[in-house]
Amino acid sequence: MSGDEKKLKVEARAPRGLGDREAGELAATNRMLDVIRSVYELYGFEALETPAIEYTDALGKFLPDQDRPNEGVFSFQDDDEQWLSLRYDLTAPLARFVAQNYDRLPKPYRSYRCGPVYRNEKPGPGRFRQFMQFDADTVGSASPAADAEICMMAADALEKLGVARGDYVIKINSRKVLDGVMEAIGIGGEENAGRRLVVLRAIDKLDRLGPDGVRQLLGEGRKDESGDFTKGAGLSLPAIDTILSFSLGGQYEEGKPQFDLFGLLGKSETGAQGARELMEIEDLARDAGYGSDRIRIDPSVVRGLEYYTGPVFEADLTFETRDEKGHPVRFGSVGGGGRYDGLVGRFRNENTPATGFSIGVSRLFAALKLVGSPIVTAQPHVGPVVVLVLDRDRLADYQRMVAQLRGAGIAAELYLGAAGMKAQMKYADRRRAPLVIIQGSDEKAKGEVQIKDLVAGARAAAAIATNEEWKAARPAQFSAPESELAEQVAQALAVQREQA
RNA sequence: GCCGCCAUAGCUCAGUUGGUUAGAGCACCAGAUUGUGGAUCUGGGGGUCCCCCGUUCGAGCCGGGGUGGCGGUACCA
């Protein structure tokens, strides 16, 4: 090959932030999704799938005052020049679906959805540009009972997945309460909207930056280790203290705030209303038997900043793990959600209240591996039985054996490559084949097949030192009449499964 | 976006004060009687030393610029 030709070769690589998932991980992920699905269906939620692509305006993601889609959203133009975008979550598409089918849907409408979402952002460790979410939502109920139910369901799902009670907590807070606190320190009103955003973002960083970092962000600003400066909210010291004492010290004990929340919120009707809703959610959870070890009010929870209108939820894993440097680190959030009463209303005149919860599937998957949940750690992927090809002109015979096995419900395949027997064995090994079927001229003459157990063979290999011995021993294989192929293979597979 | 670090084989990395044909381990392929996975042994394939410009008799190495990757930070529905 000349250098010129070589240069033309396309480099085989996935775009950054996007990855392939192979058989083992797919199987484990599917087992995990099945568990979540069964819990959600138990709660009476029904399946829904919406397309990965939506009109950009339906997602509400045009840049302000520009007819160009927001950065961070993958977008392209249809042949009629309409903007289309890849969905960046599963909530906005649900709102579109409900609005579009409003008249025929039972209300409140409960549904769950699972699928990939896309974000055009800089990827990082554990952050991808395509990732999977699993959502459940109740549309058309303003009742705190709907919020409470979503939280209980999230708790049930985590436990069913193998996260022990005490290793997780569903934290709840309310955007109304947060707004009330900000009103109390004098940054209510339209003119302070930008500043409130900065405050919420600062609170959201509590777990990562700690109180001191957040204090800086609420005040003048903060300079991080890389030398980058983030401008702060410019609050007064008393205001900063109020925010921090609310977010940090404002832990509730069984429905009773540790400090005078209602006094603080006295000036703000929305704030007081938010607090009442929060306590009602908590009461409902308690009445259903969910203690503060599972569902509890936590004023530091902020969540997504755009469309939440009331209660917000966050599922946190509380057990400690260690990072690559050995430092103890908390796993953190594996899902979140809240009430978004305005979303469906973008499509319709009357407002439609809605609440939901979203699980970050790959993050949760990583967490389940850490806690050793059998749902994701069990059974390595098992490949098909491979029928080796020894005599090239007898392909039809081998194919018949494969068909026989498949007819008996056994996953099997014919070796389709061109290599010799040794390479075929390596192939079977790499496919994680449980067994291979060997029939050369000797066996053919006797009407027999050799059935070789690759799993038992690998065990036997440990005791054998030389290649000659290894070849001569032919460990873990036996011959069987060709007519009994399927039965004998089925039996060998059953034995293998028992020993696993 | 901002700041920092890095770039040599598929992967992890060596590479002398600037000196001929750029190396190792792992991975991959193959051995013999075309009938046996692993280990061992032997052999083999695989490189635009990220790109461009400059300095030099001579650059993987020095200088400048670019690109790409990684980490932090910001944004994140």
Domains located in chain A, CATH noted: 23-52+87-185+235-377 (3.30.930.10), 385-499 (3.40.50.800)
Map tokens 């873990």 to a residue: A476
- Mean pLDDT, to the nearest integer, of A385-414? 95
A13/B11 CA-to-C1' distance in Å? 15
Q: What is the mean pLDDT of residues A276-301?
A: 93
Q: From start to end of A408-498, where are the E strands?
A: 412-414, 435-438, 448-453, 477-481
Question: To which H or E segment does residue A216 belong?
Answer: helix A206-218
Q: Closest by alpha carbon to A135, among A355, A392, A302, A348?
A: A355
pLDDT over 60 (residue A182): yes
pLDDT tier for residue A144 given thresholds of 50, 70 and 90: very high
Q: Are A205 and A301 in contact (CB under 8 A)?
A: no
Integer angstrom CA distances of residue A110 from A107, A277, A430, A446, A457:
8, 21, 45, 64, 52
Helix (H, G, I), strand (E, B) or coil at A41: helix
State pLDDT tens for residues A445-497: 999 999 999 998 888 887 777 777 777 777 789 999 999 999 999 999 999 98
Q: How far apart, in whole angstroms, are the C-alpha atoms of residue A253 and residue A245? A: 15
A397 contacts A439 by C-beta, under 8 angstroms = yes
Name the pLDDT band for A423 (thresholds 50, 70, 90): very high
Answer yes or no: is A363 CB < 7 A from strand B: no
Q: Of how many residues is chain A composed?
A: 500
The residue that minimises its CA distance to C1' of B69 is: A16
Residues A13-27: tens digit of each pLDDT: 788 888 888 888 888
pLDDT over 80 (residue A321): no
pLDDT band at A6 (very low <50, low <70, confident <90, very high): very low
pLDDT band of A387, cuts 50, 70, 90: very high
Q: Of residues 73 to 132 in chain A, which lie within 7 A of strand B by their beta carbon?
A: 73, 88-89, 91-92, 119-125
Say yes or no to pLDDT of A111 above 70: yes
Q: What is the pLDDT of residue A469?
A: 78
Question: With 50 as the cut, is the pLDDT of residue A1 above it?
Answer: no
In the beta sheet, which residues pair with residue A136?
Answer: A112, A357
Does the pLDDT value for residue A113 go beyond 70?
yes
CA of A122 to C1' of B69 (A): 13
Considering all nucleic acid strands, name the nucleotide whose C1' atom is nearest to the C-alpha of residue A197.
B75
Which residues, in sequence order, are CB contacts of A106 under 8 Å at separation 6+? Answer: none
In tens, the pLDDT along A214-261 reads 999 999 888 877 777 888 899 999 899 888 888 886 555 555 555 556
A338 touches strand B (CB under 7 A): no
Distance CA A29, CA A134 (A): 12
- Average confidence (pLDDT) over A150-174: 95
Report residue A324 as tokens: 């690559």
Predicted local confidence at residue A264, as pLDDT: 65
Angstrom distance, A3 CA to B55 C1':
28
The ipTM assigned to this model is 0.83
State the DSSP string of A136-150.
EEEES---HHHHHHH
Q: Tell me which residue has tokens 């399927």.
A: A486
Nearest one of A140, A115, A104, A99 to A47, comparing CA atoms: A115
Cis peptide leading into A64, omega within 30 of 0? no
Long-range contact set of residues A102-109: C-beta below 8 Å, sequence gap at least 24: A102/A348, A102/A352, A107/A139, A107/A140, A107/A141, A108/A138, A108/A139, A108/A140, A108/A141, A108/A146, A109/A138, A109/A139, A109/A140
For A371, list phi and psi in degrees, rounded to 5: -85, 0
Q: What is the pLDDT of residue A223?
A: 84
Supply the pLDDT for residue A337. 94
Q: How far is the CA of A101 from the C1' of B72 (A)?
A: 46
Sign of CA dihedral A471, A473, A477, A479: positive
Query: What mean pLDDT is reported for chain A?
Result: 88
